[in-house]
Structure 1
Amino acid sequence: MAAPRTELPPTAGLPLRWRDFAPGAPALALGPALARMLEVDPAAVALTCSGTAALVLALSALQRTSARRSVIVPAYTCPLVAIAVAHCGLRLRLCDTRPGHFEMDPDALAALCDDDTLAIVPAHLGGRLADLGAPLRSARAAGAWVIEDAAQALGARHADGTPAGAAGDLAICSLAAGKGLSIFEGGALVAHDPGVRALIAGLAPQLLPRSLAWEARRCVELAGYALFYGPRGLRWVYGRPLRQALRRGDDVAAAQDRFPLHIPLHRLGGWRQRVGARAATRLPAFLDAARQRALARSAQLRGIEGVEVLGDRRGERGTWPTLTLLFADPRARDAALSRLWGAGLGVSWPFVRALPDYAYLRGTVPRAPAPNARDFAARVLAIGNSPWLDDAAFSRIAQALEESCRQPRG
């Protein structure tokens, strides 16, 4: 596979500016800035070193409220969710998704809930929102908590106007590389219940101790992110490892789905918080521009027979870091991936497996039937919605998609 001269990002992350790194305090600190975006009390937001750390902190706090030990998650979601549940010593239970979607099937979820259910963790995907109605109803019936996984949906709104990250009992947000707002690696935990907030405040210093080594590393990585996050820099730090993994036939590595089973846990430093707070002022306009691009391009893709663009339901206002596509035929999806993944155009695979099918997670994820989740993994593809994806490059992608859907199947 010949290396392209430039590499478009697989998601539309907010580019940092050097003025974000200026000394001095920003007008609004990062925690209150996120609280304003989420329309919650600033006391509800706890900053963490990653979205995964936020989930660990949430689960650790909820463990103090109950003897329950089961956590229900979608069978198609980020492997880090399963790793966080295992880190806390809790029992992972997988809920199959509904057909043709990433959100948990309501009937399967209701059947899984019992008197050992501590929490349900519905997840949004690529800025598309999961309906929280069924998780909230099931949780209320079982006496469990809902932790909204808004790691990929900061800035989105549910149909009733509630910001993503403010609709559950708790929520996790991610500020990782490539997310809408990034400090390279960071996160936030939102908790509405005052008692849970108090538990989080007491646990945070224990679970997230100061670590000069980790924070120094993240500061260097953040500076590198600011320098390399663009078509020229990503060719080396993202595109080159991607194509090496594809040549090895390692789709898990190519999708960056292989995560360490040990979760780094440390306190988020003040300098990176200040960088994020300055960048946050530009996020709403950035998300609006991404939405307008995505809506126009979604309309173009809807003309391709055999491809569905996942969009907002009535009243929703998701974010658009990617355009998430679902193919009618998995062979057409595979053909499109073979043409486009690694071509430098920002086409990728959200998560390459249903959770039970990652070999490195055996022993962490229980074996479970998940036919709908497996089917979704076999038919999904994502196109990065970055401002660097111009009309000519998008036309190349659309043509490859159309040809992949038309080619004869053996």
Structure 2
Amino acid sequence: MPDSQYSLVVSALTAGGLIGALSASYFNDNFGRRLTLFATNGLLGLGSLITTLAASPQTMMMGRFMSGLGCGVVTVVVPAYLAECVPKSRRGFFGALNQLAIVVGIMVAQIVSLSWSTIELWRYILAVGVVLAVVQSCLLPFCVDSPRYLASLPGGFNRARESLLKLRGTSASQAEIEVNEWRRDWSNSSHAADEHAIVVQQTTTNVNIWNFLMLQQYRKPLFIVSLLQLSQQLSGINAVIFFSTSIMSSVFPESSGLITVFISVVNLIMTILSAFLMDKVGRRLLFLWSASLMTITGLLLGWSIEGGHDQTSAVAIIGFVAAFAIGLGPIPFLMIPELVETQAVSSACSIGLSINMISNFAVSTGFLMLRNVIGKGQVFYLFGSALLLLTVIAFFILPETKGRSSEDVIRSGYSIYPCTYESIPDIERD
């Protein structure tokens, strides 16, 4: 296959992902999280099947585009679904588990490819996607609808209580307490709007992408979401992963086939650590530490490449990936449902993923050109400088969302730390 066709086949997944991300909020809000995931399995399974049986580059491109559509929708739906199903004291842990699942999937794919990346067996790698789609479709009926999403619908509090009872396995009174807590949060937001003329109230109308982009009340969360996504991609993580094989091969020339697997193992271990730290240390501190360490190791990587210090480069790459996994990997998508009300979560996630994919595409396509123009080491100086600037901005505006409801974060004006408010009386049951 010519390089031009190969590039189109590779980029088809990204193109599909972008379209899937932009359309996900419509299906997520109108059909619910679980039903949307059901439909997404069809896209993922069919896309994997087409690529498995493909006999031409055009067919392969179509299959990857369809898989990209599914990936874009899934990446929007899953963080929102998880955040709405777990207690706020455990959101960080379960949000990091989403990233952990992605890391495990990448690592398993790399391990499988070590033995199946042959002319005879490569199609079996793609067929795994069909199997996973079927398995997920069989397991989804055991999952409940998002309780918080149900509660946001007109007259949906009773359905939300039923969903909570199945999900938590707790008593009816405990489910009632949690539902009433949501109602108080939403009512406090409306109360704050009346007192301070801030338009941040709970409504039964979903916020579409256009409104999220244009309404003044969403300017602050839009800026924070953009900051998080750009920090992840402009850090140069994909460029480092791309460049890691050639660097590590020079240090361990006889083990080049295991290099990517080793880096994935490091990523896995640090992501597990991140899951346990997320609700203890907090998102803000983990983000700042992660971004700072990535800046240092990224600059070190650039210096070592320029000086020909291969062993230092290997250490810098491992440190860079480890720092990414502990914070900048899971946090950008974990925090989105914590920054906006339920009605705006889908649109915020769609916009966040779109920014992520566009910046990812720009970095991936521009990396080789930049490396050839300004030098192998200097390109990592550029990434390090960009991440340093974004980290400084985050230090002044990124709120701590650990243990806070999204309504509290909004009501505080996105203050860095929680504020104290005068509570209003409990609301009558519906």
RCO comparison, higher one (Cα < 8 Å, 6+): 1
Given the two structures, how large is their TM-score scaled by the length of structure 2?
A: 0.26
Q: Determine which structure has the larger strand proportion and give its number.
A: 1
Please give the TM-score of this superposition, normalised by the length of structure 1.
0.26
Larger Rg: 2
